[in-house]
Chains A and B, each alone.
Chain A
Amino acid sequence: MKAERKKKYISLYNVSKRECKNLVSRPIYLFCMVIAPLFCTFFFTTLMGSGLPTNLPIGAVDQDQTSVSRNLLRNLDAFQQIAITERFTDVAAARRSMQRGDIYGFFYIPHQTAKKAIAQKRPTISFYTNSSYLIAGSLLYRDMRTMSELTNGALARETLRAKGLTDDQIQSLLQPIVIDSHPINNPWLNYSVYLCNTLIPGVLMLLIFQITVYSIGVELKEKTSREWLRQGNNSIFISLWGKLLPHTIIFFIIGSFIDVYLYCYLKFPCESGLGPMIFATLFMILAAQSTGVVMIGTLPTLRLGLSFASLWGVVSFSISGFTYPVMAMDSWLQGIANLFPLRHYFLIYVDQALNGYPMIYSWNSYLALLIFIFLPFAVINRLKKAMLYYTYQP
């Protein structure tokens, strides 16, 4: 009995050693397991390094040309996220500039605005944003609207002063109800925090799917799968374990590095502390590897398996709901979203790192990842059959 167990360990070790040789001999592994994830980490965090875009170029159509309009535009320009880069004489020119992509929006102050306002004729000013660029559009909207409100306030103040009110009274008169917003744990509305925390694990997960499928599929393709199985004591279990264990270790090192980089170096909000996030990363990696095994197990052809992995990995980004909320999707898609491990990782991240809830609140996401981890049992026999009898068709 003991000898039997020892033999198992030895074959596990042998398969792992064999796999390590594979990993070293093909540069694609280095590329996909180390270079690509680290590149993406670096890419996304530097691309959105400023957190919020600043000085978005906008245009101004000032036909009024009075101190009121100039004041308004000067104050608008002073907003951190806005820079008035161009001035136009009419709206058509501004629109063309928007179509050329030079500006993201423009402010329009028509003729005699100030004069009409003083004469109490209620002129209209307008602001236009290019909402094809959603983020830029909504940031501009916020500032331009604030500016319009402020201008109104300033003008109304004049009228009220004339009625004999004090400045304190006026202040509470102009804005009796104030909304204080508290964006929990991301008060800067930092886009990098909002996106990178899920984008980067998403890329890692996509690559894990692909590498898992590839490393198994290439054995089928190159007809080395029998030899692999023989080394694993003819047990699919030991063979798979031995093969994927080196991957797990490498991915875990990379994943932990990403966590440390995000939460310790870049100081992204991490209310739970680093430990739970590294734990979640380990769960995510195991779930992704298991999903990869399921993919090649159901479609035991390298090409089809990789197609499956790519499709699943890429759709993850959209369906996991970190940009566009799952609750806004159709109900059948909300169900399908659960089939993507990234969805569950995202929920864990929100609970742990962002909101700092106790781990018990994420039990269902962890359970879901656990189910993913045990999923390969369903396809293991099919995979073994493929390893023994499969012939590659290009």
Chain B
Amino acid sequence: MTKKGKMKFSDIILQGMQDTLYIWKREFRLTVRDQGVLIFFILVPLLYPIIYALIYNNEVVRDVPVAVVDNSHSFKSREFLRHVDGTPDVKIISYSSNMEEARGLMRNKDAYGIIYIPSSFSKDIARMEQTHVSIFCDMSGLLYYKAILSACTEVSLDMNNDIKIERAGNTTDRQDEITRYPIKYQYIPMFNPQNGFASFLIPAVLILILQQTLLLGIGLSAGTARERNQFKDLVPINKHYNGTLRIVMGKGLSYFMVYAIVSVYILGVVPRIFSLNQIGLLHTLIMFIVPYLAACIFFAMTCSIFVRNRELCFLIFVFTSIPLLFISGISWPGAAIPPFWKAISYIFPSTFGINGFVRINNMGATLDEVRHESQVLWIQAGVYFITTCLVYRWQILNSRLHVLRKHREMKNKRLLDSREAVE
């Protein structure tokens, strides 16, 4: 101890750097050689995004099959149905004679909705009375409902306008237009113009994959380190491994290297393969992803102390992906998340990673607009760096303790042995 105290400060730094590099090299080699870790670091990031993108590739649901009950049998009702059938969202598969027959089609899953036109339909219109078209939707998927409702609404609005014009008795086309809509309105869906499912979900999934595979991979390698160690400790006994900072930095650096490359593939190549939105600026993205990766790596290293066996990380971490995706506020709007869960969501880098990345990548936000997210990520990176150091410090002390204890045991045993021999 006294010897170390006399060491020059510059020497300590130099030695620290050397040890960091040594650990970095060793961890990198371990990572590359460990088939299990490679599955998480390479195979999963490579394949998962592709599976997801394939599932959601068609973006929207088209031609939802519906059954029709047309009790009006009139020119007007046929016009209405023809227009509905003409929309891309809905396809009429059957004209049923009554509701019971149409319900039968729904029970057999041949149809996902019923459009019911009352017998008074065209009479009402001719009499200048309001008429009601009923639609019944299977609620197993909201997209069916959305498709059927929007198709029918669209058609009814168009027909309403024509009827209005007929009745208003205008004299010129211009007047017709004005009666139709005194004020025009337009809807502009921004950043995902076709309201597609892939463009909405995939970017969030991509970011989540980074965090989850890091949790799994780092957890796995921590489990392996424990299994290989004779005292089931996380930190090996090795002259380079004496200093919390160098272990944490060395390991962190080697994970960061691997993930810098993985990120390029996941965030750069995958969206391009499936031609998803990608309007972010490169340097913004880099400036944002660096703190995200750092936060994820140190978060995963902190969590890895819970992993006592190699395979436990599967059981602990995999299922969390689903709640994490929901808590991020990408599908269930963040503004509607109860405060308690909102507070919990601050623990995970993915919450901010997802929100920031979606904004940069899908909405072309600059660093200024994701300042809040990137600040939180830097703070998380700092906090988790400290917690990682603490848990590693604790682990180092533990492993020293174990060695000392073992040493003492051996000594006692030898003493006993020698005493026995003397006797």
Contacts and interface: CB of A to CB of B under 8 A. Distances in A.
Interface string B148-186: 010011001101100110011000000001110111111
A323 interface: yes
A306 B338 contact: no
Given A185-B139, A361-B107, A314 B321 contact: yes
A72 to B, nearest CB: 9
A174 B257 CA distance: 65
A211 B322 contact: no
A214 B197 contact: no
A207 interface: yes
Interface in A312-339: 313-315, 317-319, 321-325, 327-330, 333
A322 B330 CA distance: 17
A100 B190 contact: no
Nearest to A192: B332
A47 B329 CA distance: 10
B387 interface: no
B326 interface: yes
Nearest to B224: A394
A152 B54 contact: no
Given A177-B159, A394-B224, A138 B195 contact: yes
Interface in B199-251: 199-201, 203, 224, 227
A381 interface: no
Nearest to B113: A184
A49 to B, nearest CB: 7
Interface string B36-64: 10010000000000011011111011101
B327 A394 contact: no
A47 to B, nearest CB: 6
Contacts of A104: 333, 335
Contacts of B337: 47
Given A40-B319, A394-B224, A318 B55 contact: yes
Interface stretch (A1-9, A129-137, A279-287): A129-137
B363 interface: yes
Interface string B312-352: 10111011011100110111111111101100000000000
A253 B178 CA distance: 65
A350 B109 CA distance: 11
Interface residues of A, number: 116
B183 A125 contact: yes
Interface residues of B, number: 110
A171 B130 CA distance: 8
A59 B355 CA distance: 19
Contacts of A199: 322
B148 to A, nearest CB: 8
B333 A123 contact: no
Contacts of B5: none
B108 A132 contact: no
Interface string A120-153: 1011111111111111111001001100110110
Interface string A196-227: 00010011001100110010011001000000
B189 A180 contact: no
Contacts of A278: none
Nearest to A361: B107
B327 to A, nearest CB: 7
Q: Is the contact region of chain A dominated by helix, strand, or loop, or is it mixed?
A: helix
B55 A333 contact: yes
A176 interface: yes
Given A127-B188, A303-B36, A184 B139 contact: yes
A175 B160 contact: yes
Interface in A61-75: none
A248 interface: no
A32 interface: yes
Given A57-B335, A322-B141, A176 B319 contact: no
A158 B36 CA distance: 73
Contacts of B409: none
A366 to B, nearest CB: 15
B152 A179 contact: yes
Contacts of A186: 139
A114 to B, nearest CB: 9
A143 to B, nearest CB: 12
A172 B200 contact: no
A50 B336 CA distance: 8
Nearest to A139: B333
Contacts of A132: 191-192, 199-200, 203, 277, 358-359, 362-363
A182 interface: yes
Nearest to A96: B369
A156 interface: yes
Given A99-B365, A130-B191, A148 B185 contact: yes
A354 B193 CA distance: 32
B319 A36 contact: yes
A380 interface: no
Contact of A182 (B136, B195, B224, B370): B136
Contacts of A50: 336
B341 A174 contact: no
A322 B316 CA distance: 25
Interface string B357-376: 01100111110011010000
Contacts of A135: 331-333
A152 B58 CA distance: 35
A221 B227 CA distance: 12
Given A44-B323, A128-B190, A324-B56, A99 B62 contact: no
B13 interface: no
A394 B182 contact: no
B35 to A, nearest CB: 8
B363 A130 contact: yes
Given A122-B177, A310-B318, A394-B227, A130 B190 contact: yes
Interface string B382-420: 000000000000000000000000000000000000000
B11 interface: no
A117 B323 CA distance: 49
Given A47-B327, A179-B153, A125 B187 contact: no
A175 B164 CA distance: 8
Contacts of B260: none
A218 B29 CA distance: 27
B297 interface: no
Given A126-B185, A151-B183, A100 B369 contact: yes
Contact of B140 (A134, A173, A354): A354
Given A47-B337, A125-B183, A303-B310, 10 more contacts: A46-B340, A56-B336, A132-B199, A132-B277, A132-B362, A159-B178, A171-B130, A179-B149, A307-B314, A394-B227
20 contacts: A47-B337, A53-B332, A56-B336, A99-B366, A128-B190, A131-B190, A131-B193, A133-B331, A134-B201, A134-B331, A159-B182, A183-B145, A184-B136, A189-B139, A303-B39, A321-B141, A327-B64, A333-B54, A346-B140, A361-B107
Which 6 pairs across A and B sit closest by C-beta, in order of nearness? A53-B336, A131-B192, A148-B185, A328-B61, A155-B182, A99-B365
